[in-house]
Amino acid sequence: MTQWKHKHLLGLQDLTAEDIELVLDTARSFKEVSSRDIKKVPALRGKTVVMLFFEPSTRTRISFELAAKRLSADTLNIAVSVSSTTKGETLLDTARNIEAMNVDLMVVRHGTSGSPFILAQGLKCSVVNAGDGCREHPTQALLDLFTLKEKFGRIKGLRVGIVGDILHSRVARSNIWGLTKLGAKVTVCGPATLMPRGIEAMGVEVCYDIRKLIKNSDALITLRLQKERQQDKFLPSLREYGRLFGINREKLAEGSSDLIVMHPGPTNRGVELSAEVADGKQSVILDQVTNGVAVRMAVLYLVLGTKPGTEG
């Protein structure tokens, strides 16, 4: 079995297929822990995990916090509003002040791409990226991979469509890295104005026809559409977005009945997904939430289990 050799988890771009498989295998055993009566193991007793969130995200934070607690770690929540960071106080200053309280790991969410990378270079503790700008959201992708593997028994050869605002999506990027490394065929689909230039370089195909995508996919990862995108003029209207790229029962009927629909949540019902699809039997949205805790337990466990000083 492969060994985990990373001090941080900054993104899936930096991981090998073996690294990813190791996380998924580890998560499987932790999922079993979560189904027990006493949902706690002593793996990280005495360790302190800080949730450093520069951008609010209740779902991700709670999932990480629960994961840390089930591993018996002490947790601390720090929410920093970026606007309150005064001039002269750099990102690194803020983090170093927290690190000085002898913490072992920081789970970082930041609106600027690359922030966890900068922190990992300047801190002694481990850093886990909980989403940075439009770059990566590795644990979300890992839980998506876990869910896919649970449903299909494999990733290799799966045809996965990622639908929505690819331009601004860290979930899309992390999933593309992870899925392609594990041998899935990825197609991205969304409005041309929200399709980043040069995305094909990541090894994906681009498609603008959701019906065609549905016919040719085993799974769809739908992305949350930020309502501001309409104000930014990326879209004529949310209604038109829904018509072209939203998934409803009628469109879904054109695909395989085994096709599964995923979403990182929270959904804009009636925009990305109709309510009947979100709650329907092809939706695995709640499984994703459950699996999120197991995957994050695996990540915290692996990252903190390594000896300090090893390669990031």
Partner 1 sequence: MGLLIKNAMIVNADKIWDKPQDILCEAGKIAKIAASIPTGDHQVIDAKGKKVLPGLIDIHVHLRQPGCEDKETIETGSKAAAKGGFTTIMCMPNTTPVIDNAMVVEFIRREAQRVGLVNVHPIGAITKGQNDQELTDMAELKSAGCLALSDDGKSVLNSRLFRLAMEYAKMLDILLIEHCQDPCLSAGGVMNEGEASTLLGLKGDPGIAETVIVARDIEIALYLNARVHLAHMSLKRSVDLIRAAKAQGIQVTAEACPHHFTLTDADVKSFDTSMKVSPPLRAQEDVEAIKQGLADGTIDCIVTDHAPHTKEDKEVGFDGAPFGLTGLETSLGLTITELVKPGVITLSQMVERMSAAPARIVGLGGKGQIKEGKDADLTIIDPDKKWTVTKEGFVSKSVNSPFIGRTLSGRVEYTVCGGKIVYAPVA
List interacting residues with partner 1 (CB under 8 A).
Answer: 13, 82, 85, 87-93, 110-115, 117-118, 132-136, 170, 173, 196-199, 201-202
By C-beta, is 75 or 139 nearer to partner 1?
139
By C-beta, is 92 or 289 nearer to partner 1?
92
Shortest spacing between CB 43 and partner 1, in angstroms: 32
By C-beta, is 123 or 252 nearer to partner 1?
123
By C-beta, is 66 or 202 nearer to partner 1?
202
By C-beta, is 76 or 202 nearer to partner 1?
202
Shortest spacing between CB 163 and partner 1, in angstroms: 17
State how far the Cα of 115 lies from the Cα of 249, in Å rounded to an integer: 40
Shortest spacing between CB 9 and partner 1, in angstroms: 16
By C-beta, is 192 or 201 nearer to partner 1?
201
Shortest spacing between CB 51 and partner 1, in angstroms: 18
By C-beta, is 197 or 281 nearer to partner 1?
197
Shortest spacing between CB 33 and partner 1, in angstroms: 33
In sequence order, the 6+-apart residues with CB closer than 8 A to the CB of 32 are none
Shortest spacing between CB 101 and partner 1, in angstroms: 21
Shortest spacing between CB 167 and partner 1, in angstroms: 8
